[in-house]
Amino acid sequence: MQIMEAKLDKIKQVPQLDDQLCFALYSTSLAMTKLYRKLLRKLGLTYSQYLVMMVLWQQDGITVTDIGARLYLDSATLTPLLKRMEALELITRERAKSDERQVIITLAKAGNALRKQAAELPKSVLCAIECTPAEAIGMKEQLAVVRSALMKNV
């Protein structure tokens, strides 16, 4: 009987997948990305491209480094993505005159035109996650706190 109880205690000590915050965040991120993939098909954008576009719609004409800092991506990840976006004529890439090591990213006409269509996406997402705007804002703020704490430790 004691052996059985010891085994049960050991099982209880093993971390359970569904009890882990990391898995809740990971699986939620996957679900959100799948939702955006579906919504973004209409715009002809991938989720990563959409994130870049959002940065540029907020502040056009910025460096690859600035975009990477905003999206938590390094230039080795971002550069191929930006090259594909340039080939799609969504953006332009140009070396900075003051420092040729820096590349300035600017919205092209087609990229700027997508802004209006993309304005409807947040409403669709809010409907899909079935919560109020206030609840969504609260979740976003909590996640920002978690991200900030994690960034101090990586």
Structure tokens given for 106: 């600017």
- Cα separation of 56 and 60, whole Å? 5
Which of 96, 97, 94, 117 minimizes the C-alpha distance to 106? 94
Q: At 99, is the pLDDT very low, low, confident or very high (cuts 50, 70, 90)? A: confident
- Which pLDDT belongs to residue 96? 86
Residue 17's Cβ-side half-sphere holds a number of Cα atoms within 13 Å equal to 2
Domains and CATH numbers, the chain: 42-113 (1.10.10.10)
Could you read off the pLDDT of 108-151 as tens digits, one per residue? 999 999 999 999 999 999 999 999 999 999 999 999 999 999 99
Could you read off the pLDDT of 28-52 as tens digits, one per residue? 999 999 999 999 999 999 999 999 9
Name the more confident of 99 and 114. 114
Instruction: Tell me which H or E stretch contains 63.
Output: strand 62-63
Q: Which of 90-94, 100-104, 112-116, 131-135 has the lowest mean pLDDT?
A: 100-104
Q: How far is CA 103 from CA 70, 82, 92, in A?
A: 16, 11, 10
Q: Which of 13-22, 39-48, 66-75, 142-151 has the lowest mean pLDDT?
A: 13-22
Q: At 7, is the pLDDT very low, low, confident or very high (cuts 50, 70, 90)? A: low
